[in-house]
Chain A
């Protein structure tokens, strides 16, 4: 059983990333379940998707303390998902910060110690700078796919399996751009 959380801010595309992972997992013969957020939170709130695949999956939600991966498209959102991570689980996070409304309004502070904290407390973590990859991919919208590409280094699916999952779920005219973004994301992990 693999448990993966994608987290971010409403509008960043966590649902598409999780759909592509599910597609790849189903094509590889796994049972798959996922849980996602629609509605009010999509207006710029915190959003997440729980993806689970394995021989037989019951719960669409990941139990706290059992996530193998937390993939975060925004730095702060990682910290809301910490309790899901299992002891040897891995965090992959985009270095970008998006100020939440209370920070913008000057009511609260964006914590400045997140990267240091991760370094000190989470054995497996990657903080990725995705800017160059996004520039090269040609669209900031491809962040979700870049992060998925980074995650792919640690999952069992082949490049062909990922590519066909992307083809199955992305509009035809965006397929090439997304394949490129995926490869760039994959390459971000040394």
Chain B
């Protein structure tokens, strides 16, 4: 087979292509973004789209699966929170064509607002989950996920982490197998979840779980590698690679089937070694399961629950040493190099004015979140995609006197993702706040993707260009102003006027990201 060095995310795109995937949808989010970009660039047999948010992406993919096609959604860990509503019920309706969800966790929060461990979703939503330990396996497991999905009538999650998504490795390449869409049969008992249908579907998925467990027990994705039986280490994902690297003489159980976990295999391994360890990033997911099976095991006492693991962390934890080097430590202070807005970034002008007027800024997620750092230090709340506007309303309801001294700031793509409903809320509930939509005509932070306001699709076709001004007017905002923030004097005047106005207002700060063509 030909081989290629590939990014984990590219290997997933390749796996989907080889598996005969026909429809893929996502909202960009580090560390998952490159999956759909690779599909759109290299695998044109797959229809690929950016959706406005992860919930919509998952719904599009669910629809394509019900219609019979092999389909795949991709999102970062927090994206699955947005898509959790469809996830839990599409777990009931299951799959027709293979239904695969790629979920990218971000231990270390390299480019995220939290470090949640999405393995819990598999258990909670009763959805099978598999997890590769390398780019080569990322391709292989993605292909397998489509088969599992069709065989067991379940959506399947392929979990990766940043260190798989954004690491490269040698990947063997296969050819594409064209898989014709399965016939679509009208079957409301399966696809329409009124309570009378949901109850039997719940029974169905509970009946599937033991079958999936049996599949997991026999799956080569879980593999015991016997070496010295003095110490046995259970590991998953990239942690498996660190263990192999620093503990070459220990027995290792690699867990590739995260849910359901293979009890028999774990028992065999646990009973075959003198001391049992679990090395996993984030939560003690496997560890708790091993304990529940009745084995004493060392895990989170040694392995940090916080952040990302590294070979030296695993080495120190398990071997109490790491390679020594004679290079001394450098004693002068090394100034930090935090990320910053590009020189000439349109957001910079906006935040200079916000800083000058000293208003409270309810922020959102995008490059502009960097304005929380010096030299601007001008953001005071931020949580998740779209939160700025709702929080801004809450702020006003709690402290009406602050309405004229605070703003919500949200980017074009984030506004479309989940800022529209809170704007409706603000108008409906008689808020008077000012919302700044930083319209730079691109989804910049994740690497400059198109979105509904750019008028171009992921596959490069021209399409309707969403008119943000008209949209804001349609939800009932009468005061909508469009200003070029580079004209800072005008921008400041407009902002002062809108802060004073005792009715909802939107200022569209209109200037392109300097890194777009």
Interface bracket on A? 35 or more
Query: How far is the CB of B235 from the nearest CB of chain A, in Å?
Result: 11
A107 in the interface, Cβ–Cβ < 8 Å? yes
> Chain A residues with Cβ under 8 A from B170's Cβ?
26, 31-32
Contact check, B339 vs A43: say whether CB atoms are below 8 A apart: yes
Contact check, B168 vs A33: say whether CB atoms are below 8 A apart: yes
Query: How far is the CB of B485 from the nearest CB of chain A, in Å?
Result: 18
Contact check, A61 vs B311: say whether CB atoms are below 8 A apart: yes
Chain A residues within 8 Å of B, Cβ to Cβ: 9-10, 18-19, 22-23, 26, 31-46, 57-66, 76-77, 79-80, 82-83, 85-87, 89, 100-103, 105, 107-111, 113, 117, 121-122
Task: List 4 tightest A-B contacts by C-beta distance, closest first.
Answer: A39-B111, A39-B30, A45-B339, A65-B323
Contact check, A65 vs B325: say whether CB atoms are below 8 A apart: yes
Contact check, A61 vs B374: say whether CB atoms are below 8 A apart: no
Provide the bound-state CA to CA distance between A23 and B170, in Å.
10
Query: How far is the CB of A105 from the nearest CB of chain B, in Å?
Result: 5
Provide the bound-state CA to CA distance between A84 and B387, in Å.
40
> Chain A residues with Cβ under 8 A from B333's Cβ?
108-109, 111
Contact check, A63 vs B337: say whether CB atoms are below 8 A apart: no
Select which of B7, B322, B335 is within 8 A of A63 by beta carbon: B322
Contact check, A40 vs B169: say whether CB atoms are below 8 A apart: no
Residue pairs across A and B with Cβ atoms less than 8 A apart, 24 shown, are A9-B337, A26-B3, A32-B169, A33-B167, A33-B169, A34-B167, A35-B168, A38-B31, A38-B33, A38-B34, A39-B111, A40-B111, A42-B447, A59-B244, A60-B238, A61-B163, A63-B315, A79-B334, A86-B327, A100-B335, A100-B337, A102-B338, A102-B374, A105-B375
Given contacts A39-B110, A43-B339, contact A32 B163 (CB under 8 A): no
Contact check, A26 vs B5: say whether CB atoms are below 8 A apart: yes
Provide the bound-state CA to CA distance between A64 and B170, in Å.
23
Provide the bound-state CA to CA distance between A45 and B163, in Å.
18
B367 in the interface, Cβ–Cβ < 8 Å? yes
Contact check, A35 vs B163: say whether CB atoms are below 8 A apart: yes
Provide the bound-state CA to CA distance between A185 and B7, in Å.
27
B67 in the interface, Cβ–Cβ < 8 Å? no
B219 in the interface, Cβ–Cβ < 8 Å? no
Query: How far is the CB of B382 from the nearest CB of chain A, in Å?
Result: 13
Given contacts A38-B111, A39-B446, A63-B315, contact A109 B341 (CB under 8 A): no
Contact check, A19 vs B168: say whether CB atoms are below 8 A apart: yes
B490 in the interface, Cβ–Cβ < 8 Å? no
Select which of A44, A66, A77 is within 8 A of B342 by beta carbon: A44
Select which of B34, B325, B339 is within 8 A of A83 by beta carbon: B325
